[in-house]
Structure 1
Amino acid sequence: MRARAPSWRLCTEPQGSKKPPPHGRGSETDIAKTGPHVSASGKVFLVGAGPGDPDLITVRGLEVLNRATVVLYDNLANAMLLDLAPETAERIYVGKKKAAHSVSQEEICAVLLEKARADHIVVRLKGGDPFIFGRGGEEAEALAEAGIPFEVVPGVTAALGIAAYTGVPLTHRGHTSAVSFVSGHNVDIIDWTKVGQSETLVIYMGLTSFPDIARNLIANGRSPDTPAMAVRWATRPDQVRITGTIATLPRLIEERRMKPPATIVVGEVVQLGARLNWFERLPLFGQTIVVTRAASQAGDLSARLRSLGACVRELPAIQIGPPADSGALDAAIAHLSDYDWILFTSVNGVRFFLEALDRSHVDLRSLRARICTIGPATRRAVEELHLKVDLTPEVYVAESLVASLATADVAGQRILLPRAAVARDLVPAELSRMGAHVDVVEAYRTTMPESMVPRARELFGSGTPIDWITVTSSSTVKNLVCAVGAETLRGIKLASIGPVTSATARELGLEATVEANPYTIDGLVEAIRNRSR
């Protein structure tokens, strides 16, 4: 359904906790005075980013983000959505955090006009819905007055996100048929004799003023025993919910030191959350899990963990690139028809083999060899090329692959093994001992990303509790330990993809808490889930 598949590379964490990126990738751009020019092609989209979970953005919101040339975003819009904009799009952080508005509303409107007049496709990304306490109306008025074309893209407002992710329906035939939304910014201007009688009352931006709101509700006839709850960062893995009554909730908020942004719901429907709250019952809800796979391959594992409620922090410990010298691989492909077997020990091996094949003067018609893959993911990568796989071992490790090939009588046969620059020598050594002629060629290499060390030190030094680290290869373990040291990682549960990776961790002074069985991403997720029950 997505026009461009997102690659979430950040955990859902309180936006605004990080410094805005450098200019051109999310800086606080200087606010230039707008001139009289009206753009012929520029346009502004006021887009509701939804309540927090980035998957809740609308299809239309996704479409316009995909083609934005400028994105203005604030504290309440999930920063992960910025990955949906083109790499070349300018990202401008405009603050809007309580008591710390880095850019005023007037300045934001000026930027919208300036960028549209410069023929940009501008997306103003706003938390929740632009027209529900999002000041979208003010921005739309400024655009209309200036003659700038604009479009409003609605979003899932915080109240609806809270309702769904806490199991508290805002309307229910047995409890309520009326709902009121109110801002808690200025308590004194609200007529509580009317608003306070609404069966379900949703208070935006009212966390710090709720003691005054509660007094007004009770003074105007609302029972102090009316159920009430406050929810912070609704729909995200770090969602926090405090439940009480109108009378007790102010004290509970203070005792638990809840901070904005948070929304409050008052009414009998709050009681339904005890039975209908599905989100906080997910098996990994509230657990922070670090995924160390390469950025290009982390998406699948991260998505599965998030679907189980986890807060995922992606920390790529390796990056995968072409070989330092492709000469050996190119030469092997030039004589592809000479091989009896080709062995693929990773999806990356398949990918870079195919890229080299595309560069050559031959194609898959030259492949007469039988094909062996080490596991199901690699097998699928080959089968996507409409090639048949002749052999996949039952256990997805090199030792099992060798044992399976021993039954195939490989003596005297030529075997091609395109693999990483650094890998175990067990497979070629054992096959050579069986009498096979093995050509080991470097198809790709794994290195530590330049950003790995500073990102790892920031993550593990932030004080944010981390429950799990996933490691899917020996390289990821080695680079992780190299970046922060084994001592930093002790006390954090380690989830390993298989015995070879576990052995590497052990050599470096770490012990795997769980090990995948089978040795696949599915097995890894299931191992974490089982341990967390």
Structure 2
Amino acid sequence: MPTNRLRGKTIVLTGTQKTLPIKELIEENGGECIVFPLIQTTELHSPEDAGRLSELDNYDWLIFTSQNAVQVFIDKCQRAGIDIRKLACSIASVGAQTTALLEKYGLKVDFMPSTFSADVFVKEFPETVQETQRKLFIRGSLAKPTIRNGIANITEWTVYETCANHASVVPLVELLKQKQAIVIFASPSAVQVFQEKVAPIVGWQHVSAAAIGHITADALRKLGVEVYVQPATYTMRAVVEEIILLEEEQ
């Protein structure tokens, strides 16, 4: 139920995903929501794409850990005339939003880890599958080697790259010169861009940092930044809901 618990609060979203429902949640509770994506993703086109697409049915599992990977994979399949609903392989997904996007396209998710984390995934996934089964990890350019190193018989396919979104830097700097803001970080990449492009000008003193996931939180803490909010559920909605609860207690 909408409240005024966020009245007077400015919340900045720094991720690349669609944010309209989250923006509405913040504004319904009296807050100001500003979207400054600190990173942007671009599909990679490679000579290996045609081969990977033609061999999809040779894999027992497809592994996705981000919405971006799902969307780019779907786009590549559609351009190649592949009906993704007829794929014979099973699908593993890390993250509620990743799973939601897969299901939106009619794909059944056969495995999700108990926590939306690659570290947990590599512990739980091998208990579900046979080591000899072939797995294709569809990933972005900045994916850590956790899954590659932790899963047997796996092939990686890098389908998009992540880089800094310089267009957001100046307006975010100007905002933080004027007011305190709660800044939500959804990835270590966004933390890195802030540290390299924004913090040298305005520092972190005007920021209450919220983190999605322990990897993002660790990236902040390594910089000496206190993490204001880190919900157990790794979703944007969970972050905002926890912020609302904290503001109610104050």
Superposition TM-score, scaled by structure 2 size: 0.91
Contact 2:176–2:206 under 8 Å retained in 1: no
Contact 1:283–1:529 under 8 Å retained in 2: yes
Amino acid at match of 2:176: F
Q: Secondary structure at the match of 1:468?
A: strand
Aligned length: 247
**Corresponding residue for 1:342?**
62
**For 1:418 and 1:488, how far apart are their aligned partners in 2?**
36
Match runs of 1:499-514 below 5 Å:
499-514=214-229
**Corresponding residue for 1:304?**
25
Residue from 93, 96, 101 that aligns with 1:373: 93
**For 2:190 and 2:127, how far apart are their aligned partners in 1?**
33
Change (3 A) 1:508 1:405: same
**Corresponding residue for 1:98?**
none
**For 2:222 and 2:51, how far apart are their aligned partners in 1?**
37
Amino acid at match of 2:26: L
Change (3 A) 1:519 1:337: same
Q: Secondary structure at the match of 2:138?
A: strand
Contact 1:334–1:361 under 8 Å retained in 2: no
Q: CA deviation at 1:528?
A: 0.9
Contact 1:289–1:466 under 8 Å retained in 2: no
Structure 1 ranges of 4+ moved more than 6 A? none
Q: Does 2:161 align with 1:445?
A: yes
**Corresponding residue for 1:418?**
138
**Corresponding residue for 2:238?**
523
Q: CA deviation at 1:442?
A: 1.1
**For 1:445 and 1:298, how far apart are their aligned partners in 2?**
20
- Residue by residue, what CA displacement relative to the aligned partner does 1:115-160 show, whole Å, maximum 9, x if unpaired? xxxxxxxxxxxxxxxxxxxxxxxxxxxxxxxxxxxxxxxxxxxxxx
Change (3 A) 1:508 1:326: farther
Structure 1 gap ranges (5+): 1-277
Contact 2:209–2:229 under 8 Å retained in 1: yes
**Corresponding residue for 1:320?**
41
Q: Secondary structure at the match of 2:193?
A: helix
Larger radius of gyration: 1
Q: Name whichever structure is richer in helix by fraction.
A: 2
Amino acid at match of 1:303: E
Amino acid at match of 1:399: D
Q: Secondary structure at the match of 2:196?
A: helix
Q: Does 2:219 align with 1:498?
A: no
**For 2:233 and 2:175, how far apart are their aligned partners in 1?**
30
**Corresponding residue for 1:211?**
none
Amino acid at match of 1:293: G
Q: CA deviation at 1:488?
A: 1.5
**For 1:327 and 1:415, how far apart are their aligned partners in 2?**
20
**For 1:514 and 1:476, how far apart are their aligned partners in 2?**
16
**For 1:327 and 1:452, how far apart are their aligned partners in 2?**
32
Residue from 11, 14, 20 that aligns with 1:289: 11
Q: CA deviation at 1:361?
A: 4.6
**For 1:298 and 1:482, how far apart are their aligned partners in 2?**
24
**For 1:516 and 1:348, how far apart are their aligned partners in 2?**
22
**Corresponding residue for 2:125?**
405
Q: Secondary structure at the match of 1:442?
A: strand
Over aligned residue pairs, what C-alpha RMSD do you find?
2.0
Residue from 86, 99, 109 that aligns with 1:389: 109
**For 1:493 and 1:475, how far apart are their aligned partners in 2?**
18
Contact 2:84–2:107 under 8 Å retained in 1: no
Percent identity over the alignment? Answer: 26
- Residue by residue, what CA displacement relative to the aligned partner does 1:308-330 show, whole Å, maximum 9, x if unpaired? 1111122111112112x433343
Q: Secondary structure at the match of 1:446?
A: strand
**For 1:451 and 1:380, how far apart are their aligned partners in 2?**
29
- Residue by residue, what CA displacement relative to the aligned partner does 1:232-255 show, whole Å, maximum 9, x if unpaired? xxxxxxxxxxxxxxxxxxxxxxxx
Superposition TM-score, scaled by structure 1 size: 0.44
Q: CA deviation at 1:467?
A: 3.2
Q: Secondary structure at the match of 2:180?
A: coil
**For 2:40 and 2:21, how far apart are their aligned partners in 1?**
16
**Corresponding residue for 1:19?**
none
**Corresponding residue for 1:484?**
198
